Structure 1
Amino acid sequence: MGKPTETRRTEIILAALEVAAERGLVATTTQAIASRVGIGQSTIFRHYNSRDELFAGAIDWIGSQLMMALEPYFSSSEPADVRLRGMVYQQLEFVSNNKGLPRILFSDSLHIGQPLLKQNVQRIMRNYSIRVIQLIQEGIETGRFDKKLNPEVTVRYLMMLIQGLLMRWSVFDFNFDLKAEAEPLWDFFSRALQPV
């Protein structure tokens, strides 16, 4: 008897992310993914109609897992600056355990090749932005952050810092500790948040 559908789909996604981390998205074939899971290639197509659908599903899975990991920082009663700092640390730890994510985010497949993949990434980025904007706004209202900050712009710059760090990590083949970068990133960014 085969594994439950959701279990098998998750195995396939995790294998796809592992292979993408090693080979890049373009060279990640369904056969390589199937071999990593220890199943026949046809089993992948019982769960996903295409390779594009599989990677769109992988992005959805990563997005939901990331938001679950960050939820305590959005819903906690701790001060906004403490929560935002923890969120940055948690996000880098999460990505350090999912090396396929930056390979997907910085691939041509995302930017020009797979509309479904791009739409899923855009949706996740919008959802993430909305939650972090709320956190920044709360910090402004409670005096933890500078009242002159524009929450939307502040979040865009935070995302750019994180994405730039992930790009560097990916380009250098993950040869430095991503989690160790959380402290200097936060130290730099938090200075811009401080009330004047």
Structure 2
Amino acid sequence: MKTTRKSMPAAERRAMSVQAVLQLAAGQNPADITTESVAKKMGLTQAALFRHFPTKDELWQEVLQWATTELFYAVEKAASAASSPLDALERIFQTHVAFVADHPGVPRMIFAELQNPEGSESRKIVRDMLVRYSSLLTEIIAEGKKPGEIDPSVDARSAATMFIGTLQGQVIQAMIAGESLMLPEHASIQFKLFRRVLECRNSSDS
């Protein structure tokens, strides 16, 4: 029997709600998105949406939980398939920008939530993911220093911060220019520059 929207399982409808918010966020300021517009996007009434998310905050938390979980899972998976620490970093970089290109609403939601007051649940979700992401990068960079693949003088934590900052800057520029689909191509150039920072110190000091 064909499943209609009215008979759709709760988990499936919640997942649809997340995607509806992200689709709207791809083209407008997340702060301007209303539960009414989300319900309309889904072909539902606000009352039907509120049965799953009694408040807008709860819906936003669900969206950010999905986005941060999926993004971190993707970069962890990319890193696990790498042949070396530098390969892992490149795979993470490319995977991240590919994820953003596929889900342009995600960075808009994340950047919007980082502007919220400290202590909000949505901001905590984003912050926790960034902490885990930074820790993963720091561990990979530190591991790369052991066999000399990465210059021993490189500070792993600072390099991880630079990695994330480079990604964020690239994403913001793409968002401003409306060129999210060009992110993978630009990211390849950006990573080559970042890689040189990690590799070239020994040769420059000799």
| Structure 2 length-normalised TM | 0.87
Aligned to 2:156: 151
Aligned to 1:30: 35
Structure 1 residue 169 displacement after superposition = 1.4
Structure 1: which 4+ aligned runs deviate by more than 3 Å?
none
User: Matched residues in 1 for 2:148 and 2:83: separation?
Assistant: 13
Query: Contact 1:17/1:101 (CA < 8 Å) preserved in 2?
Result: yes
Structure 1 residue 71 displacement after superposition = 2.1
Task: State, as a whole percentage, how many aligned pairs show the same letter.
Answer: 24
Residues 66-98 of structure 1, C-alpha deviations (whole Å, 9 max, x = no match): 122122233236111111111111110001111
Structure 1 residue 2 displacement after superposition = 2.1
Residues 120-148 of structure 1, C-alpha deviations (whole Å, 9 max, x = no match): 11011011111111111111112211111
Measured at CA, do residues 31 and 5 of structure 1 come closer, stay the same or move farther in structure 2, by a change above 3 Å? same
Structure 1 residue 33 displacement after superposition = 0.9
User: Matched residues in 2 for 1:118 and 1:174: separation?
Assistant: 26
Return 48-57 or 27-36, whichever deviates more: 48-57
Aligned to 2:122: 117
Aligned to 1:65: 70
Query: Contact 1:106/1:167 (CA < 8 Å) preserved in 2?
Result: no
Coordinate RMSD, CA, aligned: 1.8
- Bigger CA radius of gyration: 2
Aligned to 2:47: 42
Query: Contact 1:53/1:116 (CA < 8 Å) preserved in 2?
Result: no
Aligned to 2:12: 7
Query: Contact 1:81/1:144 (CA < 8 Å) preserved in 2?
Result: yes
Structure 1 residue 184 displacement after superposition = 0.8
Equivalent position SS for 1:3 = coil
Query: Which structure 1 segments of 5+ residues have no match?
Result: none
Q: State how 1:40-189 maps to structure 2 within 5 Å.
A: 40-76=45-81, 78-107=83-112, 109-112=113-116, 115-174=120-179, 177-189=182-194
Equivalent position SS for 2:27 = helix
